[in-house]
Structure 1
Amino acid sequence: MDHGFGTIFDCFISVGTCLLLSLAYLASLYVWNSPHSRDHPSTIKKRFISVFVMVFVAPLFLYAGLHKDILIKVKFTDVLGLKTEGLLQAFFMPLFLTMILFLGPISMEFFSGLAKIYTEETYWYSTFTNLIWLRNHLVAPLSEEFTYRCCMLPLLLQCLPPVTAVLVNPLLFGVAHFHHMQERVKFGMDFNTALKISCFQFIYTTIFGTYSAYIFYRTGHFISIFVVHAFCNHMGFPDIMEVVTYKKPKKIVIIALFLLGFFAWCFLLKPLTEPSWYYNKPTWYEV
């Protein structure tokens, strides 16, 4: 198998294993059949248990579908992105890169005064005792990235070219978020509104998934995609319309920072994810 290409059968097995793992992850969330919404404390706690179990189950799917010749070349924990070499730069550099992309939204937090809350002790106490915050910033980034990137992307890389694998992987991630649509309809939202929200979420999560898959492919570290996912969940989708509420010259500065952040991110994306920085060899899948 050379340069990420495999036989049709290899690809069928790899993609099929990814689909089964995705279904298993989603099924684990609904095994409880909770009568409450996804934001109810009871539902959140039960799903915490589910994804905790999936953290141990997901690697079994990867191990079963991974070409055994690969494990001769590299340790299984390295395939999963669980390694210590390059750990420090893997934590900070992709996060710094992502903060550059969010330069505009970050500047709005400072201009609006929202950034001041990060210096308040009560803010951090309230967040670390808030189940929704813990789900969005710790549990979801950990379980989703570990399952959809660490345990699925290697399966795709062993039979597809890297670019194709990086583009296919987030489709599984994006489609998985459609399960929120069923919950929205169940708790009173009309079908059309739920569909529109889910379609937007699919687009947004697929774009993010592509970025995350690329970072994991380049850095080979789970910690990189975990911190980036947590940061993006914290920032949310940039509120472009908020920019028009500012008066000049703040509005001009914010627009300039949006543009500067995007173009700087494009320029720095490749050099700041250079595999050698992270002691990563993204050719491990070539067997």
Structure 2
Amino acid sequence: MAPIKALLDRFSELWEKQLKGAQKAPAISPNTAATLSVVFTLIYIVPFYLSPATRPSPQLSRDAPSSIRARVRAVTFSCLMSLALTIYVLYDYGKAPPQEILRLLGVWPVSLLDTAKTMLLVTILFAGPLFEAGIVDGGVKDWVRGKRLYEELSSWIGYRNFVVGPISEELIWRALIIPLHILAHVSGKKIIFLTPLYFGIAHVHHLYEFRLTHPHFPMHLAVLRSLFQFSYTSLFGFFVSFVFLRTGNLLSLILTHTFCNWMGLPRFWGRVGVEASVLNEPPSVVKKEDDDAPGSQSKGLVWTVAYYIILVSGAVGFYWQLFPLTESSYAMPVVLIEE
């Protein structure tokens, strides 16, 4: 096995030198990488509107089981098409050997240690929300028993949000789009801050779907909701793109995406113990629901103070551990920090 491993390592070393060589022209242009990124985004989104089975309407919600099943089939086909095209470009234009293609896609090798460190980093960031959901709201017992996990995954909405969505979205917008930009010699910083915009834009179509199912919702609030969604999906994209370049580990991104979908957005205002609304309903409706819902009374002030202390501490810890916990020997062949 040792000679084989040495040979594979030699292939990878030679290919990295080819990518980094100052005199070598990029295998594809940055414009080509950007064009393919747009194509992949369209391949992913457009099929949702081509069939009555997947196209949302006032009579068919995107959360209907029949719609989710049809969309899962469409997404699977879209991912296979985009994957095939990416492999072709990496192999034919980039002259990357098969093992290097697997590496660039973040598929192999897989470091479970890197995955564990990434999940620890995300857990630190969500220390506050975990405290509220697990301790304040008493959800830790359900976590230990796996009750909530079973309930979520046994529904089509949970299957979409926690399985199909994370896998397909991380495959398209990280594992496929980022290697193309590496092939085009796009800098690491540009990859981190530009490629996630495709991911953010891909969620803008939810505005149309939301208006179909909420026709009486004020338009300006719907637009604000969509812009808010674009912002936090882009911020999430910045982070996972950074992690992908630092670790070359697609599994870490999928698990991180699943975890973030499960946790939702952290609370940035209000007292703990009251469900926080994020631009989903008009303020008057939210207030009425919060006031009338049984068990919606907030906890004591001490719990709220503790939550915000833990929230800030988690953010600080995340900042300090961002580079140490993403250090990996499987990093992608790009330079993030100039010496």
Equivalent residue for 1:218?
Answer: 246
Q: Secondary structure at the match of 1:275?
A: coil
Do the aligned partners of residues 90 and 55 (structure 1) sit closer, same or farther apart at CA in structure 2, a change above 3 Å counting? farther
Matches of 2:162 and 2:148, distance apart in 1: 14
Tell me which of 31, 35, 50 is aligned to 1:16. Answer: 35
- CA deviation vs aligned residue, 1:222-272 (integer Å, no higher than 9, x gap): 101000000000000112224464434322322211111011111111011
Asked if 1:186 is matched to 2:176, the reply is no
CA deviation map 1:192-225 (0-9, x unaligned): 2221111000000000010011111111011010
Q: 1:53 is matched with which residue?
A: 77
Which residue of 2 is the match for residue 150 of structure 1? 175
TM-score, length basis structure 2:
0.76
Q: In the alignment, which of 279, 297, 310 is matched to residue 257 of structure 1?
A: 310
Match of 2:68 in 1: 44
Q: CA deviation at 1:21?
A: 0.8
Question: Any residues of structure 2 matched to 1:1-287 within 5 Å, and which?
Answer: 2=20, 10-33=29-52, 34=55, 35=57, 36-66=60-90, 68-69=93-94, 71-72=96-97, 75-86=100-111, 88-109=112-133, 110-120=135-145, 122-159=147-184, 160-187=186-213, 188=215, 189-243=217-271, 245-276=298-329, 280-283=330-333
C-alpha distance in 2, partners of 1:205/1:75? Answer: 29
Bigger radius of gyration: 2
Residues in 1 aligned to 2:256 and 2:126: alpha-carbon distance in whole angstroms: 11
Q: Find the aligned partners of 1:16 and 1:123 in 2 and give their Cα distance.
A: 41
Further displaced range: 105-114 or 117-126: 117-126
CA shift for structure 1 position 184: 1.2
**Which structure dedicates a bigger proportion of its chain to helix?**
1
| Structure 1 contact 81–221 (Cα < 8 Å) conserved | yes
Distance 1:283 1:156, change over 3 A: same
Greater RCO, 1 or 2 (C-alpha within 8 Å, sep 6+): 1
Report which stretch shifted further, 179-188 or 203-212: 179-188
Q: Which runs of 5+ in 1 are unaligned?
A: none
Name the aligned partner's letter for residue 283 of structure 1: P
Deviation at 1:77, TM superposition (A): 1.6
Separation (CA, whole Å) in 2 of partners of 1:222 and 1:252: 37
CA distance in 2, matches of 1:6, 1:269: 33
CA distance in 2, matches of 1:6, 1:190: 51
User: Contact (CA 8 Å) 2:245, 2:331: kept in 1 or not?
Assistant: no
Decide whether the 8 Å contact of 1:101 with 1:261 is kept in 2: yes
**Cα gap change, 1:9/1:255 in structure 2, threshold over 3 Å: closer, same or farther?**
same
Deviation, structure 1 residue 54: 2.2
SS at match of 2:108: coil
Contact 1:11–1:156 (CA under 8 A) maintained in structure 2: yes
SS in structure 2 of the partner of residue 211 of structure 1: helix
SS in structure 2 opposite 1:152?
A: helix
Shift of 1:49: 0.6
Which string of whole-angstrom CA distances, capped at 9 and with x for unpartnered residues, describes residues 112-158 of structure 1? 21333223465343222111111111110000000110000111223
Q: Residues of 2 paired with 1:272 and 1:32: CA distance?
A: 44
Which stretches of structure 1, 4 residues or more, deviate above 6 A after TM superposition?
3-9
Deviation at 1:61, TM superposition (A): 2.9
Alpha-carbon distance change, 48 to 174 in structure 1, aligned in 2, over 3 angstroms: same
Q: Which residue of the partner structure matches residue 278 of structure 2?
A: none
Segment of structure 1 superposing worse, 159-168 or 1-10: 1-10
Q: What is the SS of the residue equivalent to 1:241? A: coil
Deviations 1:57-91 (A, max 9, x none): 121232344373450495212111111442x1133
In the aligned structure 2, how far is the partner of 1:156 from the partner of 1:77?
16
The residue identity in structure 1 corresponding to 2:201 is V
Aligned residues: 281
Contact 2:102–2:108 (8 Å) recurs in 1 = yes
Q: Distance in 1 between matches of 2:315 and 2:201?
A: 26
CA contact (8 A) 1:80 1:151 kept: yes
Give the distance between the partners of 2:131 and 2:25, measured in 1 at CA: 46
Task: Check 1:118–1:161 CA distance in 2 against 1; reply closer, same or farther (3 A cut).
Answer: same
Letter in 2 for 1:253: A
Greater CA deviation, 186-195 or 170-179?
186-195
